[in-house]
Amino acid sequence: MFLIDQTLGRSRRRDEAQRAAPHRASCCALTPMRQIIFILMLITLAACGAPAAPVDPVAAGGRAFTIQCGGCHAISEVGSAALGPRLDAMVARANATPDPAAWLRMSITNPAAEIAPGYRPGLMPISYGQSLSPAELDALVAYMLKVGG
Ligand code: HEC
């Protein structure tokens, strides 16, 4: 009986040692090869998290147009010409000037300077010079010149 107990005890201890051994090897002891793979994975992850390419101004301008202007104006297929003129004609007018982008920027930030024929003055907000950043304004103008020309 004692002999059996001793044998069982020894084999149980060996089992436990074997169970612990592979665990220790996989979790704590990184072989040099594993370290290299681990570092390569970190580099790949860092590359994935790098800042994306700069925002496309035309796409950003399109989103801004839909939100800020599309309630009153239409351009190409976007927005509704409920209150203001279709802006395709405005882009055509801008393109007839020496600096189309400057003309559009002026007509957005200072709409009262010239009133579109047949439309009521005072409806177009006069605040875009303050509420839009120069980059947002540039993006809007780039979008309008692209789709409305
Ligand atoms: C609340 C309605 C409304 C919103 C919002 C609005 N507009 Fe207008 N817009 C008008 C009206 C009405 C006119 C015509 C009267 C005038 O020329 O001021 C006009 C005129 C214009 C003109 C022609 C100006 C000229 O000199 O003839 C441009 C260009 C223009 N809008 C661009 C925009 C852009 C770009 C936005 C968004 C950033 C915008 N508008 C937002 C109502 C609006």
Q: What b/e string do you get for 19-46 counting C-beta neighbours within 10 Å, with b at 16 or more?
A: eeeeeeeeeeeeeeeeeeeeeeeeeeee
pLDDT of residue 75: 93
- Residue 19 predicted with pLDDT over 60: no
- The answer to whether the CB of 119 is under 6 A from ligand 1 is yes
Lowest-pLDDT range of 29-38, 114-123, 128-137: 29-38
- The answer to whether the CB of 83 is under 6 A from ligand 1 is yes
- The answer to whether the CB of 149 is under 6 A from ligand 1 is no
Query: Is the pTM above the cut of 0.75?
Result: no
- Residue 125 predicted with pLDDT over 70: yes
Pick the residue whose CA is nearest to atom 33 on ligand 1.
Answer: 108
pLDDT of residue 38: 63
